Amino acid sequence: SVVLYVLDKFLAEKSKCGGVFYKGSFFPGRHYEKQSPQCFWCWHVGHTAKWCKITPLCSSCCEDHETLGCTAIKPLTISRCCLRFKY
C-alpha cells in the first residue's frame, strides 16, 4: 500500500478515480480513511499506549502483564484479546 498526500483537489480526485503509476507499478486509487488508534498496552480502541493508565493485557495469553515478557506458548495467529474471544 502507498498513501499519497495530494494538495491539488483535481489531482486527488483524478488519482482516486483511476489510480497512480509509480516506478512501473500501478496502484488503484481510493480515499484514505484514518482508523481509530488502538492501544498496544490494554488493546482498547480510541487511545494509544503512551497515554494509557489501564492495567496491561498480554496479547498472547490475555493475562495482566506485558506481551513482551510472556512465557506462554504462542502458536496463535490471532490475539486472544480480540473482541471475538470476549463473547
Report domain extents, the chain.
1-33, 35-87
Class of 35-87 in CATH: few secondary structures
87 pLDDT above the threshold of 60: no
Region 57-79: mean pLDDT is 75
pTM of the model: 0.47
What pLDDT score does 58 carry?
A: 85
What is the predicted pLDDT for the residue at 77?
A: 52
pLDDT tens for 35-63 read 888 888 888 888 998 989 988 888 878 88
Burial (CB count <10 Å: 0-12, 13-18, 19+), residue 69: exposed
Residue 7 has pLDDT above 80, yes or no: yes
